[in-house]
């Protein structure tokens, strides 16, 4: 038997509780894993609270991330004792996820735990940090460099934003963090932000073209925030979009793209191919100061993930939430 957070469907909604399950209930897969840590992401918050139809089948164990040790494998790439990480692939939505002590998944969804990281550190990073690294990789691949000018990170105190700030600062960029939490300025400066702007400078309707300011942008907010960020991006600048905290809409004009040559790059972390995943995790293991993870992340026990999910969606959580599934 093992412990897991389980979401079950009801006629008038859903129930969420910590339950005891047996190994035979695990879904099909060619690799079994003893999970050491999971993490609470925005999508997990939506799944647990039921505020968005994230879960596609019931019952469901949420958790789009986990890190652990292989206990059994028929997949050629993995053997008993291997330390592995999983991010995305519909886990926690269509296939039982990481908020449990055990998992059984397809081997092609896994990657080896990056050298220099342990399981807890990997989940302090999680999909949010891995997505941030994908954004930074995309900016670099598009030729962005520190001498180009300031880089804007929206939602800077969130999981993606926090790690994006740290990675970009490490790469030498002058990072400007946008946040609605004025009290978190010192936190962002600890991560490497050069300056802070108020979230409300970007959240309202704006002109199609605005004063050029940003050489590049990492946006996890969407809607008017993304539209304004694009409108303020310098000629030939690059914007990466990876989130929708403000909304899925994009009330923007084509003007920044056809008059300033701005490039908007969509960042998908769920189905990203293995080579991009390995590159992102290599950057995280190399460039992210492990000491910062203690600033960015806090730990909760498995059962605590349920109430904390609501706090996450309400914007009350700074940085990352690591779920110790064995606590």
pLDDT digits (tens, 9 = 90+) for 190-246: 999 999 999 999 999 999 999 999 999 999 999 999 999 999 999 999 999 999 989
The reply to whether the predicted model has a pTM over 0.85 is yes
User: What is the DSSP code (8-state) at residue 113?
Assistant: P
**β-bridge mates for residue 300, sequence order:** 323
Domain count, the chain: 2
Q: Are residues 220 and 312 in the same domain?
A: no
Q: Are residues 108 and 138 in the same domain?
A: no
298 in a domain, yes or no?
yes
Predicted local confidence at residue 12, as pLDDT? 83
Flag whether pLDDT at 294 surpasses 90.
no
Q: Are residues 9 and 104 in the same domain?
A: yes
Q: What is the DSSP string of 47-112?
A: HHHTSS----SSSB---SEEEEEEEEE-STT--TT-EEEEE-TTBTTTB--SSBSEEEE-GGGEEE
Predicted local confidence at residue 11, as pLDDT? 83
212 in a domain, yes or no?
yes
283 in a domain, yes or no?
no
Q: What is the pLDDT of residues 123-161, one digit of tens each?
A: 999 999 999 999 999 999 999 999 999 999 999 998 899
Q: Are residues 26 and 87 in the same domain?
A: yes
Q: Are residues 169 and 44 in the same domain?
A: no
Q: Are residues 30 and 138 in the same domain?
A: no
Q: Are residues 261 and 132 in the same domain?
A: yes
Give the largest CA-CA distance in the chain.
61
Average pLDDT value over all residues in the chain = 95
Q: Which domain holds residue 172?
A: 127-266
Strand 263-266 versus strand 102-105 pairing type: unpaired
Predicted local confidence at residue 302, as pLDDT? 96
């Amino acid at each position: 038997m093992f412990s897991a957070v389980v979401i079950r469907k009801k006629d008038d909604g859903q129930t969420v509780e910590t339950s005891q399950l047996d190994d035979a209930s695990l879904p099909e897969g060619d690799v079994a894993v003893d999970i050491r840590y999971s993490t609470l992401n925005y999508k997990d918050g939506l799944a647990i609270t039921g505020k968005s139809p994230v879960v596609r089948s019931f019952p469901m164990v949420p958790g789009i991330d986990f890190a652990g040790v292989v206990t059994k494998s028929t997949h050629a790439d993995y053997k008993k004792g291997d330390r592995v990480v999983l991010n995305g692939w519909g886990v926690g939505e269509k296939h039982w996820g990481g908020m449990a002590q055990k998992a059984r998944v397809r081997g092609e969804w896994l990657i080896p735990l990056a050298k220099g990281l342990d399981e807890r550190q990997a989940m302090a990073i999680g999909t949010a940090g891995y997505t941030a690294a994908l954004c930074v990789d995309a900016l670099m691949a598009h030729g962005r460099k520190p001498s180009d000018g300031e880089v804007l990170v929206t939602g800077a105190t969130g999981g993606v934003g926090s790690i994006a700030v740290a990675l970009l600062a490490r790469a030498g960029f002058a990072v400007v963090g946008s946040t609605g939490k004025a009290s978190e300025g010192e936190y962002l400066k600890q991560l490497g932000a050069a300056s802070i702007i108020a979230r409300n400078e970007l959240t309202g309707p704006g002109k199609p073209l605005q004063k050029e300011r940003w050489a590049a942008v990492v946006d996890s907010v969407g809607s008017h925030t993304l539209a304004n960020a694009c409108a303020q991006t310098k000629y030939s600048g690059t914007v990466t979009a990876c989130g929708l905290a403000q909304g899925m809409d994009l009330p923007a004009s084509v003007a920044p793209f056809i008059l300033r040559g701005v490039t908007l790059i969509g960042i998908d972390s769920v189905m990203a191919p293995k080579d991009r995943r390995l590159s992102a995790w290599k950057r995280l293991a190399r460039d992210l100061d492990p000491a910062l993870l203690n600033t960015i992340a806090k730990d909760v026990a498995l059962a605590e993930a349920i109430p904390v999910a609501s706090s996450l969606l309400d914007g009350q959580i700074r940085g990352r939430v690591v779920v110790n599934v064995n606590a």
